[in-house]
């Protein structure tokens, strides 16, 4: 593959992130390996965490929000008896407790953590406060007051008791969930302290760990062919989003920023056109010749391009 081909890469790489490296560091490394400038990741993983990290290349970066808003599955280990400033093993110990929960008490407490719950993000997080990352403020020992957020916890289970001091859990959750906060709050519910010692993400939306590739960040030399052979198409993140089919002429107009009358389309049997309440769809995309053209909105019978995809 030529250098110009590589520079025009568009799609997704699903990394199995290793522990000890940040999501941003991996993005920078992939950018250098493939000589790609437009690149981003779908959903930050903590430095200590492992697992699924979707990397968007080229025009796929315009669809990152489709990944960030999807459900995720994690497994993690809580160590009881100690709280830390980061709510994980990387922070210094703040408080200690001699209390250790048993299996019965843990399962009883988990009931209150399922469904829609309110959660306060950890101080060491990437949330911006007045333009500065929360973790930067926390490192400066500045006071941080995060507001509680409503999140969705679809499933939260105890996998096993490792020993008297730790237990393994599994959770399926919606966007905006902090596993470190779950561990902190569960420990508080159990009248003790706790922090995360291991964390792995098993899937993000329809990106599963079986689709991942592993790149050792700490190796000096990494070749690009293994990466290039595992690039997923842009459209893979749109599997559950309704599509509007266009002809090549209609697609060209949309790419040029023109509006198109919905009732003028050639493919009038499209599901969206026939659907009586198409306005209820928050997201729709246009496709032509099996290629995504743009993210669109339909208003007053007009198709309007919201974000054009060029590749």
Query: What residues contact 26, with CB distance under 8 A and at least 6 apart?
Result: 15, 17, 41, 53, 55, 215, 217
DSSP states of 167-227: EEEEEEE-TT--HHHHHHHHHHHTTS-EEEEEEEEEEETTEEGGG-B---TT-S---SHHH
Neighbours of 186 (CB within 10 A): 23
Whole-angstrom distance, CA of residue 29 vs CA of residue 144? 32
- Residues marked as catalytic: 46
DSSP-assigned letters across all residues of 51-82? EEEEEEEGGGGGGHHHHHTS-EEEEEEEEETE
State the burial class of residue 191 (Cβ atoms within 10 Å of its Cβ: 0-12, 13-18, 19+): exposed
- Residue 246 · residue 286 · CB < 8 Å: yes
Is the distance from CB of 294 to CB of 253 less than 8 angstroms? no
With contact defined as beta carbons under 8 Å apart, do 60 and 176 qualify?
no
């Amino acid at each position: 593959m030529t250098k110009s081909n590589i520079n025009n890469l568009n799609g997704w790489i699903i990394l199995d992130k290793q522990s000890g490296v940040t999501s941003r560091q991996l993005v920078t490394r992939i950018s250098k390996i493939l000589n790609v400038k437009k690149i981003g990741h779908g959903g930050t993983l903590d430095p200590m965490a492992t697992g699924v990290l979707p990397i968007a290349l080229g025009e796929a970066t315009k669809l990152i929000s489709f990944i960030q808003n999807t459900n995720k599955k994690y497994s993690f280990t809580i160590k009881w008896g100690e709280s830390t400033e980061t709510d994980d093993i990387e922070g210094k110990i703040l408080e200690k407790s001699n209390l250790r929960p048993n299996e019965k008490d843990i399962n009883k407490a988990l009931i209150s953590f399922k469904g829609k719950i309110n959660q306060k993000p950890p101080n060491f997080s990437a949330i911006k406060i007045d333009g500065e990352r929360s973790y930067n403020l926390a490192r400066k020992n500045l006071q941080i007051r995060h507001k509680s957020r409503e999140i969705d916890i679809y499933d939260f289970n105890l996998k096993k008791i490792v020993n008297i001091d730790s237990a393994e859990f599994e959770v399926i959750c919606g966007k905006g969930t902090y596993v470190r906060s779950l561990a902190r709050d569960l420990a508080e519910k159990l009248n003790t302290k706790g922090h995360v010692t291991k964390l792995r993400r098993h899937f993000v939306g329809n990106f599963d760990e079986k689709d991942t590739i592993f790149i050792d960040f700490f190796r000096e030399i990494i070749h690009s062919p293994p990466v290039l052979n595992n690039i997923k198409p842009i459209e893979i993140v749109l599997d559950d989003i309704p599509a509007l089919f266009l002809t090549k002429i209609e697609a060209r107009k949309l790419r040029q920023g023109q509006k198109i009358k919905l009732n003028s389309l050639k493919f009038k049997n499209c599901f969206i056109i026939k659907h009586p309440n198409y306005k209820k769809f928050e997201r729709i995309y246009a496709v032509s010749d099996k290629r995504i053209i743009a993210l669109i909105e339909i208003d007053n019978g007009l198709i309007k391009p919201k974000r054009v995809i060029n590749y």
